[in-house]
Amino acid sequence: MIDPREDQAAGLRRLFRRAPPTVVALYATGRRRAHVALQAAHRIAGHGRRVLLLDEAQGEDSLAGVLGLPTGGDLLGVLGGRSSARELVQPVPGLLGRVPVAACALALPLLDGERRDCVLDALRTLQRPASFILIHSACESAADPSPFALAAPRRLVVAEASRSGATDAYQVIKRLAAAGAGSLHVAVCGARGRADATAFFHSLSELVRRHVGVPLAWLGEVERDELAAGLGQGAAEASPRDAEAAFLRRLATFGNVQAGAAAGRGAPTWD
């Protein structure tokens, strides 16, 4: 049904939109990582985009604390019919909501086919109304990405323009590179102006170029630029919709990690 908060045209576009949502693994850096991540999510939501947060971060990095939400209700709860997918969506003003997925991210490679299909069906239900799915990941997890982060076609590092933000961003990028990630989008928040934000990015990009060798794509400032448009450009230039449609297909392969490793194929890798 059409959300009464939308105008009729926007509601119809959403109902009949064939393209699946843009899926992005999000890493926020700096002194207040959860706040930075939430700020980026609201900016991506922008003018009527429907953003769903899959939150696999825990402790201080989790979005639950800054949003005043309970930590329970993990996506793993869909197994055995304990919860429906929609019941697990926690309300977030301005966004579709937040779904905790930390336990599910750990368990997914160990699930049998029937249980894995149950989780994937829940994700299909959750993504239908979404324009964007942001997988909120802890910086420390970047060296060993979860199935959700690994299956995401895009990776975004939101760097706070501070000493700790720069240090965190470099470490996250280094860890992602060690895990086999390719190019990364970078957005800057908290800069004093465009010149400072640009200088911050160029300094980080040069450091990464010299010591890591991973290309960084400048997405802009969280406070001033259209982040959603920048994140969508790659899909338009490549095969249309295929990267997003591949998200669930790639997640489905994680049940075969152990069998694949035994056969010498190893686990799924980054695009």
Average pLDDT over residues 65-72: 88
pTM to 2 decimal places: 0.85
C-alpha 244/C-alpha 178 separation (Å) is: 24
Contact 73, 83 (CB under 8 A): yes
**pLDDT value for 8:** 53
Q: How far is CA 51 from CA 17, 32, 89, 91, 225, in A?
A: 15, 21, 12, 12, 17
pLDDT of 184 higher than 70: yes
pLDDT for residue 255: 62
**Of the candidates 20, 84, 25, 13, which has an alpha carbon nearest to the alpha carbon of residue 53?**
25
Residue 260: pLDDT band (50, 70, 90) is very low
Which residue reads 């997925």 in tokens? 101
Q: What three-state secondary structure class fits 94?
A: coil
Phi/psi of residue 157, nearest 5 degrees: -105, 120
